[in-house]
Structure 1
Amino acid sequence: MSEITTFDGKATVPELFREPELVVEALLARVGDRVRRARELKSLPRRVIAETSGVSMRYLAQLEAGEGNISIGLLQRVALALDMPLDWLVGEEDPWSSEALRFAEAYRSATAERRRAAAAALTPAPPESLRANRVCLVGLRGAGKSTLGALAGQALGVPFLELNREIEDHSGMPVTELMALYGQEGYRTLEAQAVDRVIATHGTIILAVAGGIVADPATYNTVLAHFHTIWVKASPDEHMGRVQAQGDMRPMAGNPEAMEQLRTILKSRETLYRRAHAALDTSGSSAQESAADLVALIRDQGFIA
């Protein structure tokens, strides 16, 4: 290979490009290390991340070893599968040593009283005034959010809305078509816009959102700030049984490990769901019983005046 010198006669082509190559190598090593650490932190097998993101296990192994020259698009899929912001995987500052992450971890482990004190210190307006009389139900599909939200709305005399229905009405397209057209990232943008519309147009409402909304930090923080949020949960067996009872066989079709994957998703999102202001366990209860419990919870907590 011929070498080209600079005007001072010292630097060669390989030497000129040496630093950029080292920067790229450092970036790949940093991304690989953070993907591995995030996966281990959430106790997620590499197989689950591969299935969720659509990235092969072989490529994930190369990525974690710092040898995967991954595209931004594929890395975004991996970040979504890990429930981690993309900038946490590529930024120069170590997110595990950052002040923001330390605060987030301290907040998650704090008592309810300390959480309220921290929120009051960081929120310009009182949280209660921001949330008004809005209630949001979060949780995985099959927890009963739609059924219980509608029943509670009738009992309390307040409107009930499913966020996906708002998205469909606004776009004029079913969510399945929107996902096919815009992908997961595009859907998340539409979801965030729909949340903003609901906040702007409803001071009193019960809203049910898709289970994956907690994977988008910005949108979930908006929900927590502007809604009294309730985690509606159930056992994995009941989650699966209720979805199938609705005639949706997709969770089990051609997938004998569906139940294991459901348990893994529940485990990986549990910390996020626990950020809700209250929780309602519907395991072993009928829809009517759980609806009565939800109404009592909303009244006892003063979520809707």
Structure 2
Amino acid sequence: MEQETLQTQQLKKRKLPKWLIILIAIPLVIIAIHFNFYFATQRIVKADESINQEATSYFIHANVISMLWINATHTYLFVDYDSWLMKPLIVLTDYFFEKGEVLIQPHNGEDGVWWYLTYAYIYNLSTSQRIDTSMDIYSLPKNEEMNLRNKLTRYIIKIGNDGVKGVDFGKYESSAMHTMFATHLSNIDVEKHYTGNTKQEKIGTYLHDKNINAYANDSYVAYVRFLKKDQFKSGWELFILNNLNERVRFLIFNDMVNFSSQNICTNKYIPSYLTYIKLINIKSLNRKNQNDDIPNQKVKKMFEDRERDRIVLTQIKNSCPNFGDEINQIEITFQQLKGVNNGR
């Protein structure tokens, strides 16, 4: 009897304290959950078909940390993206993502889609479950913002020109391309990024920025190439038209500013620009007449604010009589849209 009591006491002494058991269990549970999502993501994107499997593995780890742990911390613990509490998770995400980028095969746009899936909601390219603009791309420090814009431009050109090889992102490749293209050169604050004594001088510096002009042209070419093979674009028609319209309008207006002595009528983008506007007007008028609410706020605003289009169209019309009839028809549709918007 005494021997049994002694053995029982020895067992009790060997038992780990509850707090230590919990301390050991927590990281084991976290690791188990992480790898559960890791293997699930592997299956979804068919990672076994990747042409750079080690790079894909790192990208998946970065994506799981972001979509699972950062998202949970942000949504349920109300920790903002720029908080010091979030910093370790973002640093860990960056570590795995950068390892993947070092190892990725050249001429493969896979990293661009992984960036979108991992970081888009952090930089407010996509909407997160809890609104937080603390790391919004437009409010980043000057150099950080431009570095990110340049990175998005490179991704757009890679995805458009080279495509994604091996892994299968399905509709998310389309989402990545359309969203990044809509963002990478939009809403550039000339007061923040360009020099000049007045705002007008800063706008002039911006319009003469050769890097921006090259990025605008090269990414547009890549985007159009991507659209020809995009199997999921049917859900993005209005968004795509907005992207195309804004870009060619910029390219045409930029030529007006930089090559004012040349004949604007030879600009290769004008026919496409007029086509985009007509398609936008038709879709807009149909939706307005049907009292169909336009869900995307950016596209909805485009339908209501056409002043920049009018400026460019007027310049083309005054300089190029051969486009006059086509622009007159566009202006008639503008008036019809205005009438519908005013309730007539």
Which structure: larger Rg? 2
Q: Which structure: greater strand fraction? A: 1
TM-score, L = length of structure 1? 0.30
Q: Which structure: greater helix fraction? A: 2
